[in-house]
Amino acid sequence: MNQYDLVVVGSGPAGRRGAIQAAKLGKKVLVIEQGKRVGGVSVHTGTIPSKTLRETALNLTGWRERGFYGRAYRVKQEISADDLRRRLLITLDHEVEVLEHQFSRNRVHNIRGKASFIDPQRLEIIKDDGERIEVTATSILLAVGTKPFRPDYIPFDHKSILDSDELLEITDLPRSMVVIGAGVIGIEYATIFSALDTAVTVIDPKATMLDFIDREIVEDFTYQLRDRNMKLMLGQKATKVEKLPDGKCSVTLDNGRIIHCEMVLFAAGRLGATDTLNLSAAGLEADSRGRLSVNPETFQTTVPNIYAAGDVVGFPSLASTSMEQGRIAARVAVGVIAKEPPKYFPYGIYAVPEISTCGLTEEEVKERGIPYECGIARFRETSRGHIMGLDAGLLKMIFSLKTRRLLGVHIVGEGATELVHIGQAVLNLKGTVEYFVENTFNYPTLAEAYKIAGLDAGNRMGEVNVEKIEKKAAQ
C-alpha cells in the first residue's frame, strides 16, 4: 500500500508540478509536505505573499496615481499591517484551495509530515502527532526548496528583527527599516515598504546590486529609488544588530556608522532545506549552502532514482523555473521523454518599480564580442504612459548587427513583468529588429514601447533586405 511510482518531498512549485505531471502519466504519486498546508514557500512565505503585499501597498497608497495627483496623494491615509494582511489571507486561501483541488482531481496522495531517507528507495515520514510512516518509491523527487539564512550575529526576535518569512506576520508597520541584503528579496521588500512611506535603508557589502541585470536598467532603477529618498548603502557591511531598551534597533556598520530604526529585515541569502533529509542514508551530499547538484537536463542527482528540482538545485531559484524543472524531472523519473525547454526564460523582480529581463545584457553582449545596437523607449513617449501619468519606465532591446536578431530585452517600470513576454517570444523564435519595426501594436498600450525601441535601434542599424535576413534567421 505504501509503495509508489514517484514520491515527491515538498509541495512548492517544483513538487506540485512534478507530482501532477507524473499522475497525469498514470503513475501512483505521493507528495509529502511538512507545512500546515500545501503550496511551499511560493504560496506561504515567498512569491504569492510578497506579490500580494506589493499589490495591496500600491492600491492602498494610490501609488500608480501619484504621477497625476502628486507625491502626497493617498487612497487611504492610515494604512495598517491588518489592511495588508487581510488581502494576503484571502489570496493564500484561494491559492491553497486551487492546489488541493488539483491534487485530488489528479489522484495525487498527500501526507503531512517531515520526510527523511532510510535508504535510496525508502523514506520515513514523521507526522505532527509523532506517528511514523514508511513509504517505498521507485523514484523520488526532492523539491524541498530553501529556508532563510539566519546567521548567529543577528538577534532575530520575531518582532522587529526579522527574516523574510517572519516579515509577513508583523502587527505594526514600521516608520523606519533597515534591510540587510540588496538581493532580489531584500530589494523587493525595501521598495514595497518605501512605497508605504517607511524610511528604508538598504545595506549590502557588495558595491553593486542586482548584478545579473543590465546595468543601464539598474542605474535607472537606482535613480528612482534615491529620488524618493531610499538610502542605498552599498559596499558597507552590517557587523552588529542590537535591540535597544526603547524597543528600537541599531545596526552598526564596518565603518563605525550606526543606524537606528524600528525594524530590521535580514534578507541576505537562503539555504537549501536539506539538513533534515538524512541525505547520507541515500548516498547523497549537499554543498555548503544545502544545495544538491543535478544533471541540468534530467534533474537526476548522483543517485540514479533520486531527482531534485526547484530552489534546492540553485540558480535561477524562481517559482516559474521551478515548475518547469519539476515537470521535466517527473517525466524523466517515470521514463517519459521530456523536451528541452526554450532557451530564454524571463526574470521578474517585483520591486516598486518592477524590473524584468530576458536574454543577454549589454555587458554580456560586449563580453562575447558580439557587434550590437541598442534601441530604447521611455514609457513617457507612449500615449498609454501619458494616460497613466507615468513619468518613469524604460524598455531597452539589444540587437545583433550581424544577424539583426534580438539578443536581449530589459525593462524597468509599470507592467515590466508582463511586457517582457513579447520580447521573450521574439527571442525564442529568433526574431529580428524588423518584427518590431513592421508590426502593428495595440494603441494606446505600453507594449508600443517595443515599436519605439525597435525603430530607435532600426534607424541606426539601417535598412536591409528583410527576406534574406528572415530566411537566414529561420535556418
Ligand X SMILES: Cc1cc2nc3c(=O)[nH]c(=O)nc-3n(C[C@H](O)[C@H](O)[C@H](O)COP(=O)(O)OP(=O)(O)OC[C@H]3O[C@@H](n4cnc5c(N)ncnc54)[C@H](O)[C@@H]3O)c2cc1C
Compute the least distance from the CB of residue 311 to ligand X, in Å. 4
Q: How far apart are CA 257 and CA 270, in angstroms?
A: 27
Q: Which of 33, 204, 362, 373 binds ligand X (CB under 6 A)?
A: 33
Q: Which of 67, 186, 290, 310 binds ligand X (CB under 6 A)?
A: 310
Of 187, 204, 227, nearest to 348 (Cα)?
187
Q: Which of 4, 6, 7, 15 binds ligand X (CB under 6 A)?
A: 15
Q: How far apart are CA 237 and CA 51, in angstroms?
A: 28
Is 191 one of the binding residues for ligand X (CB under 6 A)?
no
Q: How far apart are CA 225 and CA 231, in angstroms?
A: 8
* Choices 29-37, 154-162, 195-203, 466-474; region in contact with ligand X by CB under 6 A: 29-37
Is 51 one of the binding residues for ligand X (CB under 6 A)?
yes
The dihedral sign for the CA sequence 296, 138, 144, 124: negative
Q: 373 φ, ψ to 5°? A: -135, 145
Of 322, 350, 345, 364, nearest to 213 (Cα)?
364
Give the nearer residue to ligand X in terms of CB position, either 279 or 365: 279
Is 91 one of the binding residues for ligand X (CB under 6 A)?
no
Q: Report the site for ligand X in 315-374 (rule: CB under 6 A).
A: 317-320, 322, 348, 350
Q: Report the site for ligand X in 103-132 (rule: CB under 6 A).
A: 114-115
Locate 155 and state its grid cell: 538577534
Does 381 belong to an annotated binding site?
Answer: no
Q: How far apart are CA 457 and CA 365, in angstroms?
A: 15
Does 391 belong to an annotated binding site?
Answer: no
* 141 dihedral zone (left: phi>0; alpha: psi -120 to 50; beta): beta
Q: Which of 5, 214, 311, 456 binds ligand X (CB under 6 A)?
A: 311
Is 382 one of the binding residues for ligand X (CB under 6 A)?
no
Is 144 one of the binding residues for ligand X (CB under 6 A)?
yes
Is 174 one of the binding residues for ligand X (CB under 6 A)?
no
Is 375 one of the binding residues for ligand X (CB under 6 A)?
no
* Choices 43-51, 129-137, 217-225, 355-363; region in contact with ligand X by CB under 6 A: 43-51
Give the nearer residue to ligand X in terms of CB position, either 99 or 433: 99
Locate 111 and state its grid cell: 501526507
Is 224 one of the binding residues for ligand X (CB under 6 A)?
no
Give the nearer residue to ligand X in terms of CB position, either 49 or 359: 49
Give the nearer residue to ligand X in terms of CB position, either 95 or 311: 311
Q: Which of 12, 67, 181, 186 binds ligand X (CB under 6 A)?
A: 12
Compute the least distance from the CB of residue 326 to ligand X, in Å. 6
Does 269 belong to an annotated binding site?
Answer: yes
Is 42 one of the binding residues for ligand X (CB under 6 A)?
yes
Q: Report the site for ligand X in 258-297 (rule: CB under 6 A).
A: 273, 276-277
Is 35 one of the binding residues for ligand X (CB under 6 A)?
yes
Is 302 one of the binding residues for ligand X (CB under 6 A)?
no
Does 431 belong to an annotated binding site?
Answer: no
Compute the least distance from the CB of residue 123 to ligand X, in Å. 9
Q: How far apart are CA 358 and CA 32, in angstroms?
A: 34
Locate 154 and state its grid cell: 543577528
Residues that bind ligand X (CB under 6 A): 9-15, 32-35, 40-42, 46-47, 50-51, 114-115, 143-146, 164, 185, 273, 276-277, 310-312, 317-320, 322, 348, 350
Q: What residues form the annotated binding site for FAD?
A: 51, 311
Q: What residues form the annotated binding site?
A: 51, 181-188, 269, 311
Q: What residues form the annotated binding site for NAD(+)?
A: 181-188, 269
